[in-house]
């Protein structure tokens, strides 16, 4: 994978894991549309090399007319209408480092990546809605309720080799929230992001957006593959090693509302005239990020970020924001951010109320400590 990291990623990527390669950009590179070289990378195994001229994917299982579909067919606008949509992808491990600092436990994810605020990014993805592809295949059979995606990459877990595989409920496809994409921000998908074709599932955990797609299998129940059944499970905060089993975790799908401060960063010394400028992102997998608030005293008093300081609204993308926060006090101060979405969902105040055994979905208010010189 290193060859692709050098070729396709920015020099200042933070390498979170060497192999499988996992990396995130420094926070300041999280722009409204994230540049491809700055987009975080989450891999379970290696990066497969695929010849696009020989490439096809299969649609099979509980579908009326199983088919093999090549890239040329998918790009043929007389068969499939093309769609271009701005979508954020967020790994459920985003900001895991805060849970590790709270209490690392000894769950499976301990061997996993200690992500910061950068395991999320936003791109304009171009491709074809999976709904059109399923329609082309005659539609689902009556008991076809889940769509299982297979990647060309293999990975190892506990001595066994697997192909990457995950599934999403068919209703997600029916509402046009699953895209098969070959372009990322107007460029062919970089190899490291799934060339030649990947799935983009809007509003869901990044794990469902299968890269290097080889097969779509329509099934009656969620995928039995280990990534679906044994990873990306959320346990209640009371559960620990005495009582955690795969069957009592629930599968993470829609991402909750969350946000983060991108600048300044923790421990910065800020010399100012009564105002400190903050930038950040805010995202909700189930709706629109409507309101962002910043606190200058650890979550007591909240200031609303004016709407004109929030970037454009896209249904399945974050909004980046900036805010000049009033600050009178001097010395070490704790600032934090929270977002509200259009269903009035907001974030837990402290990381301990979001803590869970596998250290997923750190959606509590993001905090930075700054030294204020006024
Ligand atoms: N698809 C395949 N085939 N293999 C993988 O390891 N990782 C998933 C998902 N799709 C993965 C995959 C996870 S956990 C995430 S968060 C996203 O890809 C990350 O997408 P990116 O690397 O393009 O940012
Ligand atoms: Mo992920």
pLDDT for 349: 94
> Which residue's alpha carbon is at the smallest distance from atom 2 of ligand 1?
211
> Ligand 1: does its nearest atom lie under 6 Å from the Cβ of 357?
no
Q: Residues 306-323: what's their mean pLDDT?
A: 97
Whether the predicted pLDDT of 262 surpasses 90: yes
pLDDT for 366: 98
Distance 64 CA to ligand 1 centre (A): 29
Q: State the pLDDT confidence band at 113, using cuts at 50, 70 and 90.
A: confident
Q: State the pLDDT confidence band at 261, using cuts at 50, 70 and 90.
A: very high
> Ligand 1: does its nearest atom lie under 6 Å from the Cβ of 212?
yes
Provide the residue ranges of all domains of the chain, joining segments of one domain with +. 2-251, 258-373
Q: pLDDT tens for residues 87-101? A: 999 999 999 999 999
Between residues 104 and 327, which one has the greater pLDDT? 327
Ligand 1 atom closest to the CA of 91, numbered from 1: 16
Residue 31 near residue 88, CB atoms below 8 Å? no
- Smallest-distance ligand from the CA of 360: 2
> Ligand 1: does its nearest atom lie under 6 Å from the Cβ of 211?
yes
Instruction: Give the per-residue SS3 of 149-166.
Output: EEEEEEEEECCEEEEEEE
Query: CATH assignment of 258-373, given 2.60.40.650, 3.40.50.1440, 3.40.50.300, 1.10.10.10?
Result: 2.60.40.650
Task: Using CB atoms within 10 Å of the CB of residue 287, give its burial: 0 to 12 exposed, 13 to 18 middle, 19+ buried.
Answer: middle
d(CA 29, CA 266): 16
> Ligand 1: does its nearest atom lie under 6 Å from the Cβ of 122?
no
- The β-bridge relationship of strands 41-42 and 22-24 is antiparallel
> Ligand 1: does its nearest atom lie under 6 Å from the Cβ of 210?
yes
> Which residue's alpha carbon is at the smallest distance from atom 9 of ligand 1?
207
> Which residue's alpha carbon is at the smallest distance from atom 21 of ligand 1?
41
Tokens found for residue 49: 């090399």
2-251 CATH fold: Sulfite Oxidase; Chain A, domain 2 (3.90.420)
> Ligand 1: does its nearest atom lie under 6 Å from the Cβ of 57?
no
pLDDT for 356: 93
Q: State the pLDDT confidence band at 54, using cuts at 50, 70 and 90.
A: very high
Strand order in the sheet with 275-283: 258-263, 275-283, 319-326
d(CA 285, CA 253): 9
d(CA 233, CA 226): 11
Strand order in the sheet with 67-70: 67-70, 56-61, 213-219, 146-157, 160-169
Q: Which of 47, 152, 200, 209 to mutate to test the pocket of ligand 1 (most atoms within 8 A of CB)?
A: 209
Q: State the pLDDT confidence band at 111, using cuts at 50, 70 and 90.
A: low
Between residues 277 and 240, which one has the greater pLDDT? 277
DSSP secondary structure of 281-348: EEE-TTS-EEEEEEESSSSSSEEEPPGGGBPPP-TTS-EEEEEEEE----EEEEEEEEEEETT-----
Global ipTM? 1.00
Q: pLDDT tens for residues 141-157? A: 999 999 999 999 998 87
Mean pLDDT, rounded, of the chain: 95
> Ligand 1: does its nearest atom lie under 6 Å from the Cβ of 365?
no
d(CA 37, CA 343): 34
Q: pLDDT tens for residues 317-340? A: 999 999 999 999 999 999 999 999
> Which residue's alpha carbon is at the smallest distance from atom 22 of ligand 1?
41
Q: State the pLDDT confidence band at 109, using cuts at 50, 70 and 90.
A: low
Ligand 1 atom closest to the CA of 43, numbered from 1: 6
Phi, psi for residue 27 in degrees, rounded to 5 = -55, -35
Ligand 1 atom closest to the CA of 213, numbered from 1: 3
Q: Which of 17, 36, 38, 44 to mutate to test the pocket of ligand 1 (most atoms within 8 A of CB)?
A: 44
> Ligand 1: does its nearest atom lie under 6 Å from the Cβ of 43?
yes
Ligand 1 atom closest to the CA of 150, numbered from 1: 3
């Amino acid at each position: 994978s290193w060859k692709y990291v050098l070729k396709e990623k920015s020099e200042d990527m933070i390498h979170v894991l060497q192999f499988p390669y996992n990396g995130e950009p420094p926070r300041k590179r999280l722009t409204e549309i994230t540049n491809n070289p700055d987009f975080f990378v989450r891999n379970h195994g290696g990066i497969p090399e695929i010849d696009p001229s020989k490439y096809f994917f299969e649609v099979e299982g509980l579908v009326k007319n199983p088919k093999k579909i090549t890239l040329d067919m998918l790009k043929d606008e007389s068969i499939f209408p093309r769609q271009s949509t701005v979508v954020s992808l967020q790994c459920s491990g985003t900001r895991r480092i805060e849970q590790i600092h709270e209490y690392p436990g000894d769950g499976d994810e301990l061997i996993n990546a200690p992500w910061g605020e950068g395991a999320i990014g936003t791109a304009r993805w171009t491709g074809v809605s999976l709904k059109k592809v399923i329609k082309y295949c005659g539609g689902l059979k009556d008991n076809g309720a889940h769509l299982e995606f297979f990647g060309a990459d293999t990975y190892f877990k506990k001595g066994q080799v697997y192909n990457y595989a995950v599934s999403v409920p068919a209703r997600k496809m029916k509402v046009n929230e699953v895209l098969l994409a070959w372009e990322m921000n107007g460029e062919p998908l970089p190899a490291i992001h799934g060339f030649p074709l990947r799935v983009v599932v809007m509003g869901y955990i990044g794990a469902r957006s299968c890269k290097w797609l080889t097969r779509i299998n329509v099934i009656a129940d969620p995928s039995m593959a280990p990534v679906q059944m044994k990873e990306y499970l959320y346990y209640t905060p009371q559960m620990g090693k005495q009582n955690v089993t795969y069957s009592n975790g629930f599968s993470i799908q829609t991402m909750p509302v969350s946000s983060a401060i991108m600048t300044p960063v923790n421990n910065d010394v800020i010399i100012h005239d009564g105002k400190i400028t903050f930038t950040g992102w805010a995202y909700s997998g189930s709706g629109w990020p409507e309101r962002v608030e910043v606190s200058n005293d650890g979550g007591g008093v909240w200031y609303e970020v004016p709407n004109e300081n929030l970037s454009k609204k896209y249904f399945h993308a974050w909004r980046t924001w900036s805010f000049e926060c009033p600050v009178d006090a001097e010395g070490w101060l704790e600032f934090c951010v929270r977002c509200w979405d259009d269903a009035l969902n907001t974030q837990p105040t402290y990381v301990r109320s979001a803590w869970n055994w596998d250290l997923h979905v750190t959606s509590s208010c993001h905090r930075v400590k700054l030294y204020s010189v006024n």
